Amino acid sequence: MQIDNVALRGVATQSSLWSNDVAQLAIDGNRDANLADRSCSSTSEETNPWWRVDLLGRYSVTAVTVTNREDCCPTRIDGAEIHIGNSLDNNGIDNPRCAVISNIPAGQTYTFQCNEMEGRYVVLVIPGQAQYLTLCEVEVYGYLVMTQQVVRLKLAQKDQNMNLTDVDLQVAILQQGGIGAFCFTERQVAQSAVIPAPNNSDDCFSLKGQFGKG
Ligand SMILES: [Ca+2]
């Protein structure tokens, strides 16, 4: 099974904003660790600063990789925690914890094993202290958790070698009609310019009738 950095396709947010160092800069695919190069996210100094990526689907996360700032203040990240899960309670901080970052040397990239923890959200937080949370890159390695409905689709098709994570294939199957209602994860829907995004937080919804053939 292919393990990708799925954070690259996610949507990031954070508890506050320092300068123009927006949350998305931590998932721009660039580990450049000099803050002036504009590839690091940063909150302002506050208690319990957090950063979160929405993976837009439920993933089994094998590892999270964090690149620390190089030009200043590498110890600011000491004590940061990585949480993974499907809840947004307490901004996602209440989700199970994968790791505590004891320290990362300036400009270095460390990997934390998460043993296939499942979740849509990956949250980094520095608990219990007033601090800046600066992240030059966060990589989330994992794979999409197949929903029961996608498995049903797999069983329904003739060619078992088709790649059902291919959105173009999914759309093509639906456009051919006659298969009825299927569900897609929001993650998969978000990848498609053809299928409109769902209006609720369910990770699965019916596409029956979307193409007038349901
Ligand atoms: Ca970056």
Instruction: Indicate the domain borders of the chain.
Output: 4-144, 148-206
Residue 58 tokens read as 């439920």
Query: How far does residue 154's CA lie from ligand 1's centre (Å)?
Result: 37
With vertex at residue 119, the alpha carbon angle to CA 114 and CA 123, rounded to the nearest 5 degrees, is: 75
Query: How far does residue 34's CA lie from ligand 1's centre (Å)?
Result: 10
pLDDT tens digits for range 36-73: 999 999 999 999 999 999 999 999 999 999 999 999 99
Instruction: With beta carbons less than 8 A apart as the criterion, state whether 55 and 6 touch.
Output: yes
Query: How far does residue 107's CA lie from ligand 1's centre (Å)?
Result: 12
- pLDDT band, very low/low/confident/very high, at 150 (cuts 50, 70, 90): low
Query: How far does residue 38's CA lie from ligand 1's centre (Å)?
Result: 8
For residue 172, pLDDT over 90 is answered with no
Position 135, amino acid: L
Query: Which residues hold their Cβ within 5 A of ligand 1, which is an ion?
Result: 28, 30, 39, 137
Query: How far does residue 13's CA lie from ligand 1's centre (Å)?
Result: 14
For residue 180, pLDDT over 90 is answered with no
Query: How far does residue 101's CA lie from ligand 1's centre (Å)?
Result: 18
Q: Could you tell me the CATH superfamily of domain 4-144?
A: Galactose-binding domain-like (2.60.120.260)
pLDDT, position 146: 72
User: What does pTM read for this prediction?
Assistant: 0.72
